[in-house]
Amino acid sequence: MDKIFVCQVDDLEEGEAVKVDCNLEGIAALAVFNFNGDFFAMHDKCSHGNASMSEGYLEDDGTVECPLHASRFCLKTGVPQCVPATDPIQTFPVVIEDGALYVELVGA
């Protein structure tokens, strides 16, 4: 299984996100989030429009709000929680190895 290095765990602060360029077929970049000390990854492009989810707003309910259209997506599942988005964003598992964050490219 392929995986992509993101950063060291300590480099992604609580409540922050990072964009990871990966240039895979169909996925130009991933957004990786630190929410309450747990790490989540999803396709960086909003399913509703051309917006970077890594520039979105983390909400207290475990969602990320698109910076352009205000749709919110569940960090765990990528399922939209409100309109205008109706399609989910693909999510990926995040693993920690020796203090480093990696995204496993399951289904990519």
- pLDDT at position 50: 87
- pLDDT at position 1: 60
CATH number of the structural domain spanning residue 55 = 2.102.10.10
Q: Is residue 44 in a domain?
A: yes
Contact present, 94 and 39 (Cβ < 8 Å): yes
- Evaluate if pTM is beyond 0.85: yes
Q: Is residue 108 in a domain?
A: no
Q: Is residue 5 in a domain?
A: no
Report the pLDDT averaged over residues 83-96. 96
Query: Over the stretch 23-79, which tens digit does the pLDDT of each residue have?
Result: 777 789 999 999 999 999 999 999 998 899 999 999 999 999 999 999 999 999 999
Q: Is residue 53 in a domain?
A: yes
Number of structural domains the chain divides into: 1
Q: Is residue 8 in a domain?
A: no
- pLDDT at position 108: 62
Distance CA 31, CA 83 (A): 21
Distance CA 98, CA 84 (A): 40
Range of the domain at 60: 13-92
Q: Is the per-residue pLDDT at 81 higher than 90? A: yes
- pLDDT at position 24: 78
**DSSP state at residue 74:** E
